Structure 1
Amino acid sequence: MKLRPVKPFEPIMTNILPTGERLIAQIKWDGVRMLVYHDSEGTELINRKGNNRTRQYPELMDTAAYCRADSFILDGEIIALVDGVPSFHQVMKRDSLRQEQQIRARVQQVPIVYMVFDILYLNGESVTNKPLHERQALLAQVLIPSPLVQAVPSYPDIPLLHEISKQHQLEGIVIKDLDSVYAVGGKDKRWQKRKNILDLNAVVGGVTYRDGLVNALLLGLYDVEGKLIYIGHAGTGKLAVADWRRITEEAATMLLKDRPFANQSERQKGAVWIRPEWVVKVNFLEWTPGGTLRQPSIQAFVDTAPEDCKLDQ
């Protein structure tokens, strides 16, 4: 590949819907951020963290089926639908696989959709310096919609789309400035996200048991001093019985004598400490005054470095 991976532009969080004539809103899909790179030497899929995921999604290798261009970089999100609603847990069943046989089987078991919302490079030329409305026009010219690949629609009525996203229990919306250039590696208010469901990636520093099986994970985030701060425990969510059995088996090989958290945990009694190597995506209702998560729900294990799970994420 001649094309070098880039760090994608990120939206900042907002609690207030911004207003303005040059703003549009798009649905925020609960999936995996993915950039597709294609040139004369081949095709690669690289996620937001810079990890290669080309093998995990072989159905996206036939780029001619969904993009009329000799070379390009597309930015979007890979999702898996359950009853018409994106499921992060399901898409992680694809994203976490490493063995070819498992990958081929899951292609049929967990179909995905690539929701494309931007284009960074087209036919030998970077287009990141063009305003968003021009990049959207270019994307419309080259993208070939299908059940596998779709363009993310844009809407001028931000409050209405926000309300619709809540009604359909979607993750939220992203508000974008139509005149904004694509800031590689940037993160500012030209793109803002308003979430209906709060989530974060947390480090697992301990477990509790019931009848010999792990029934809850003790969660933490790193502060500015690099200390792991306990933020709560979760035993509900999308994990199946088979997942808890696997966790029980693997946790037995990760035991620690001392608590990895810098602060006391509310689940101190009966807790078993483990090396803080696992990272899980957790949905939650809100932060409590005591600095813990209210009603946390485990969505999936994610391939993220534990040290990237910070309190200010």
Structure 2
Amino acid sequence: MDLPLNPPVKPMLAKAATKLPVGEDLFYEPKWDGFRCIVFRDGDEVELGSRNERPLTRYFPEVVEAVKAQLPERCVVDGEIIVPAGDRLHFEALLQRIHPAESRVRLLAEQTPASFVAFDLLALGDESLLETPFAERRARLESALAGIEPPVYVTGLTRDPETAQRWFETFEGAGLDGVVAKSAELPYGPDQRLMTKVKHVRTADCVVAGFRWHKSGPIVGSLLLGLYDSADGGPGQLQHIGVAASFPMKRRAELVDELAPYRAEALDGHPWQDWANAQMQADGENRMPGAVSRWNAKKDLSWVPLRPELVVEIKYDQLEGRRLRHTGQFLRWRPDRDPLSCTYDQLDVPVRYDLAEVLETP
């Protein structure tokens, strides 16, 4: 591969904001919630670069073929790999695409095919466009990808903040993450937070039913969170929805003592008792096994049960099915809340929105 920019190239990043910025020189785009991907094409050579610089190429053969069929002969394009499913994005199906077995990769490529949404042009032919202002890069992207067809798209764009605000409020139902703002004069800065992103943020009261140790030692790494299903007027079963892990190191150490009283006889009648591992650790403690991490097979996902009596308020962005899409952020303990009152009913569920209309946004 011999391009003006060869892999790996780190993508340009965005800093978070609580409200949509307004300015005459700003462009707005929907924020796609998939796998960030920089596509490198040099003739028949294609590489799909990820945010962490590990190639995604082998996991998405159908995207590679679409790139060969539709993108310019020699180019570098920044975008997002997504898996559309009906009227919304299916992030869980996207996660399943990262699989070590070649046969499984090929099967999933047929069952849950991915698409590529382009939103920036980094190089074309022998020319690097990193120093070119975004407004010009966008115009050249539209020209270079004119006539493309699914599963390749160019993301929607507007200069109207009212339209961008409407996108922010309505596109979430299709599985999008928010809105991104870019200056017309913005160069492309790899690994620099030069854009602005506005994401959906909500709060929820959750039951703390366990924790994981931090990789650095005997301090708390993350709290395991649960919500009760509503069933026949009662609380139903406690479902694991994700974790909260946003703690300074000093706070992680303090949590060990705060959680200690709830470890006593925690497995007796624990709603997740079926996950218990009979193997006793050296300290005589029952540890609960988790699934092997899809991203790091050596990561320890075992956990320590707690009596489900504590309630914590967290901040989160959105759900994927019945789980948090991303790690929740600890806000405060809620000693005033009955754990049995922490149900899915409290969650704000976005109105459904047809994904096809998002992809066709001019």
More deviation, 48-57/139-148: 139-148
How far apart are 1:17 and its partner, in Å? 1.3
How many residue pairs match? The answer is: 257
Aligned equivalent of 1:300: none
Aligned equivalent of 2:243: 219
Instruction: Please state whether the residue corresponding to 1:116 is helix, strand or coil.
Output: strand
Matched AA of 1:104: R
Tell me the TM-score normalized by structure 2. Answer: 0.60
Instruction: Indicate the percent of aligned positions where both proteins have the same amino acid.
Output: 23
Aligned equivalent of 2:131: 129
Aligned equivalent of 2:318: none
Aligned: 1:193 with 2:197 = yes
Instruction: Please state whether the residue corresponding to 1:51 is helix, strand or coil.
Output: coil
Aligned equivalent of 2:306: 268
**Cα 1:287–1:60 shift into 2, 3 Å:** same
Q: Deviations over 1:117-140 (max 9, x none)?
A: 001121122111000011112211
- For the 8 Å contact 1:11–1:193, the answer to whether it is kept is yes
Matched AA of 1:219: V
Give the unaligned 5+ runs of structure 2. 204-210, 213-222, 227-236, 256-271, 288-302, 310-322, 335-341, 348-362
Q: Distance in 2 between matches of 1:119 and 1:255?
A: 53
Q: Distance in 2 between matches of 1:82 and 1:154?
A: 23
Aligned equivalent of 1:14: 17
Matched AA of 1:216: H
Give the aligned CA root-mean-square deviation in angstroms. 4.1
Q: Distance in 2 between matches of 1:53 and 1:149?
A: 16
Give the unaligned 5+ runs of structure 1. 231-244, 272-279, 298-313
Aligned: 1:166 with 2:172 = no
**Cα 1:259–1:74 shift into 2, 3 Å:** farther
Q: Distance in 1 between matches of 2:331 and 2:12?
A: 31
Matched AA of 1:107: A
How far apart are 1:141 and its partner, in Å? 1.9
Query: Of 179, 183, 190, which residue of structure 1 is paired with 2:185?
Result: 179
Which of structures 1 and 2 has the bigger CA Rg?
2
Matched AA of 2:307: K
Aligned equivalent of 1:47: 50
Query: Of 89, 92, 95, which residue of structure 1 is paired with 2:95?
Result: 92
**Cα 1:185–1:119 shift into 2, 3 Å:** same
Aligned: 1:56 with 2:59 = yes
How far apart are 1:6 and its partner, in Å? 1.1
Q: Distance in 2 between matches of 1:15 and 1:215?
A: 30
Matched AA of 1:195: K
Q: Distance in 1 between matches of 2:119 and 2:64?
A: 19
**Cα 1:284–1:83 shift into 2, 3 Å:** farther
Aligned equivalent of 1:238: none
Tell me the TM-score normalized by structure 1. Answer: 0.68
- For the 8 Å contact 1:120–1:182, the answer to whether it is kept is yes
Aligned equivalent of 1:282: 325
- For the 8 Å contact 1:207–1:214, the answer to whether it is kept is no
Q: Deviations over 1:137-185 (max 9, x none)?
A: 2211222421110001211122322223322423211111111000111
**Cα 1:287–1:137 shift into 2, 3 Å:** same
- For the 8 Å contact 1:208–1:214, the answer to whether it is kept is no
**Cα 1:82–1:119 shift into 2, 3 Å:** same
- For the 8 Å contact 2:241–2:324, the answer to whether it is kept is no
Q: Distance in 2 between matches of 1:193 and 1:286?
A: 18
Aligned: 1:74 with 2:112 = no
